[in-house]
Structure 1
């Protein structure tokens, strides 16, 4: 089957509404920029490119697919010329003269692939970091037939979102958080930026992202801060991302009056619709334990009593277990303790596991290993004396029976580990 000709003698009489490629080609011929040799080269390249495009999106053996391929190659070349020359006909004609048709077509395709791979919203975990993949080919097929105006309209929507995400990642990485951490947390880029602005203003020497207790302390410092809060960005922050931060900074300034109101309970405030998800802190499995334990040490150092009712365990035990005595809940807590303190999004209640936290813990075991002695030490130090032996025995039996499965790294063992945790621990859902 012969392919339809892209350039013909009649194609030189063009209407201004035609794609930029055709207008630039006509302009180049009329003004001596494109000679006969180049015109023949374009006529030779065009059918080859059309066949390649038809094959990529469907079949090169069907006439309708070849007709679409003709429209696609014209659109792709036009898109690239428009973006690189600003629509200047002389510059576009010179680009056609100096470069092959297929290279301009590929350039247009790359622009569309970048557009398609751009995020459409700023929620981490809902956009793909792999870039353009084969799964996006149907979208590329659709966009390769759209106009330059439609491309620019979509770019105007997606580019600010991408810049917001890039700004959040830049700020988070200063405190040791990467894209994986933010995706697991399921937070929004704006929440990361808001928290980073507060952190940079109120704790400029901080080196770690705040956990629940540290964020409470940050707001406590805000409530004692007098005068206006500048909310500056770090000096090294990329200039090209500053515009993306400006509206987020404005939202923090709007939040400040209520955040600074000492009569407002912070945790209740942050759960209201107006504030829910506005800020991001780490739900660190052991952070509250550590902070609370340090507060007890400080209280004892200053002569304050930390006595607890007989047989109830330490105040740390009461706080962390929330009165739970169920074996599944206690094993969940002990497992958190044995893994360490990964910066992962987990429930505030350390005696339960969400499905997401189950996967996070297994990844942490792979990365850090399992350290059962940490849980045993915690039991010896904080559990009610009457139950310490029983809790240690419960934990030791669990470790002996499950350690090999939890630490396995092949697919079958991971599936067994998931089933084991759902069976032995307190897993929601």
Structure 2
């Protein structure tokens, strides 16, 4: 048999269609059941068309037919384990509506699992359920093998999230507080392991100052060991023990070499390169050094607790770039001064770089630096390099947190 002939024998039709053909060929489905399948199929198509759009349009009905075939096939293959004779018995004994619902329920459970290894609320980064069902039943109809692969990935994500929460709990952090960190699990695990590598009685997560001390201590370790963690793991669930062992090995082979090769200051300042490697708990007041406190106080003085808002950051950066005293809200006279100073001398890039490095909190630095270099800076140069005062003011008002009314 040639390769082309062998490939031609592979049946790529939907699993539901293969089961139905097998059932008819082997007389597992009689005429009465086949008639029932036709009636159930018509009803299911109308229901699915109405759920995702309208049952009155032909394209919606055709899409609904594909949805039904996908959902029923998913249920048949999952419940039969891919055994054709078992699947034909299911098709004989269960209605298409029940099988369609079973397939949809599997997708709903899949949707409920996390798509990212992120400590956050359940809806963060997750598409809504209806869009998810739409994608996997019509846009890119899911096969059972893809379903299994996606479920494995999401279950692993769930296990990593459980591990990060478990570690946080061992460090005295509640689940709710850890959720508020809104960081990826890897950074929490790496940070916990760095502490446990150096401290038998871990004093919580670290600020920048404590990280530098832990980094220095890690350089002196000849053979990495985590005795406190090993004691904790004795009472941990089996799946977390197994995963933690893998994470320890990953830390030793992947993270420790980075610590040994890259200076501590470079690791926490260069978030473009090392984003997500470690988690810095800046909310711990006891761990913040004098420099950290001064930085935090200066940023708070300027932004007034609005420092995570992009429009506030834009206004502050443009004021720094043009020598205008920075403030949370841009006054009209400040905007005019920005425009005049820019036309006179352009932007002071050194002042912006110094401000980002020494005043902007390190957790914002990478995003703020990227915004200035790739977005705000280039755009502002074009928008402010003009002779119309009104247009310049409109741009600054649209971009920054402004305190004056826009012209009519």
- TM superposition score category, shorter chain reference: 0.5 to 0.7
For normalisation by structure 1, the TM-score amounts to 0.55
Which residue does 2:65 correspond to in 1? 70
CA–CA distance in 2 between the matches of 1:180 and 1:47? 47
1:185 equivalenced with 2:184 (yes/no): no
Match of 1:259 in 2: 259
Q: Which residue of 2 aligns with 1:51?
A: 46
Determine the C-alpha separation between the residues in 1 that align with 2:295 and 2:42: 73
Shifted more, 278-287 versus 211-220: the winner is: 211-220
State the 1:127 CA deviation: 7.3
RMSD of Structure 2 on Structure 1 (CA): 4.4
Of the three residues 260, 266, 269, the one matched with 1:271 is: 269
- Please name the residue that 2:279 is paired with: 280
Counterpart for residue 82 of structure 2: 87
Task: Please say which of residues 202-211 and 100-109 is displaced more in the overlay.
Answer: 202-211
- Matched-pair contact (CA < 8 Å) for 1:24–1:93: yes
For 2:234, the equivalent position in structure 1 comes to: 235
Pick closer, same or farther for the CA change 1:260–1:213 going to 2, 3 Å.
same
Question: Once the 2 structures are TM-superposed, how far is the Cα of residue 76 of structure 1 from its aligned partner?
Answer: 0.8
Name which of structure 1's ranges 133-142 and 61-70 shifts more when overlaid on structure 2: 133-142
Shift of 1:206: 3.9
Q: Write the deviation string for residues 111-151 of structure 1: whole angstroms up to 9, x where unpaired.
A: 33344455444355597357853454543553573444554
Flag structure 2 segments of 5+ consecutive residues without an equivalent: 1-9, 313-400, 403-408
Whole-angstrom CA distance in 2 between matches of 1:66 and 1:106 = 18
Match of 2:17 among 10, 13, 22: 22
Aligned residues of 2:22 and 2:88 also touching (Cα < 8 A): yes
Q: Indicate how the Cα distance of structure 1 residues 353 and 146 shifts in structure 2: closer, same or farther if over 3 A, else same.
A: closer
Worse-matched range after superposition: 69-78 or 170-179? 170-179
Alignment match, 2:293: 320
Matched, 1:109 2:104: yes
CA gap of 1:46–1:142, structure 2 versus 1, over 3 A, is closer
Instruction: Name stretches of at least 5 consecutive residues in structure 1 with no aligned partner.
Output: 1-14, 293-315, 336-351, 359-421, 424-429
Give the superposition deviation at 1:78. Answer: 0.7
Structure 2: distance between partners of 1:49 and 1:327: 59
Q: 1:51 Cα shift?
A: 1.0
Cα deviation for residue 284 of structure 1 reads 2.0
For residues 251 and 235 of structure 2, what CA distance do their matches in structure 1 show? 21
Higher helix proportion, which one?
2
**Taking structure 1 as reference, are residues 243 and 150 closer, same or farther at Cα in structure 2, changes over 3 Å only?**
same
When residues 94 and 203 of structure 1 are mapped into structure 2, their CA distance, relative to the original with a 3 A threshold, is farther
Q: Would the alpha carbon gap of residues 275 and 106 (structure 1) be closer, same or farther in structure 2, given more than 3 Å must change?
A: same
Q: Distance between the aligned counterparts of 1:24 and 1:236, measured in 2?
A: 47
The CA deviation string for residues 21-40 of structure 1, in whole angstroms up to 9 with x for no partner, is 23323434554544555444
Deviations 1:297-332 (A, max 9, x none): xxxxxxxxxxxxxxxxxxx6x8734698x8973996
Distance 1:145-1:136 versus aligned 2 partners, 3 A rule = closer
Counterpart selection for 2:161 from 142, 147, 165: 165
Query: Structure 1 residues 143 and 285, CA, compared in 2 at 3 Å: closer, same or farther?
Result: same
- Residue 329 (structure 1) aligned with residue 325 (structure 2): no
Shift in Å at residue 109 of structure 1?
Answer: 1.6
**SS of alignment partner, residue 170 of structure 1:** helix
Asked if 1 retains the 8 angstrom alpha-carbon contact of 2:300 and 2:307, the reply is: no
Q: What is the CA-CA distance between 1:268 and the residue it aligns to?
A: 3.6
Matched residue SS, 1:90: helix
Preserved contact between residue 112 and residue 143 of structure 1 (Cα < 8 Å) = no
Change in CA separation of 1:95 and 1:138 when aligned onto 2, cut-off 3 Å:
closer
Q: How does 1:287-366 map to 2 (within 5 A)?
A: 287-288=286-287, 320-321=293-294, 329=301, 353-355=307-309
The CA distance in 2 between the partners of 1:150 and 1:106, in whole Å, is 19
Q: How many equivalent residue pairs?
A: 299
Q: 1:266/1:34 Cα in 2 relative to 1: closer, same or farther (>3 Å)?
A: same
Which residue does the alignment assign to 1:373? Answer: none
Deviation at 1:73, TM superposition (A): 0.9
Residues 63, 355 of structure 1: CA spacing in aligned structure 2 closer, same or farther, 3 A cutoff? closer
What TM-score, normalized to structure 2? 0.57
How far does residue 278 in structure 1 lie from its aligned partner after superposition? 0.8
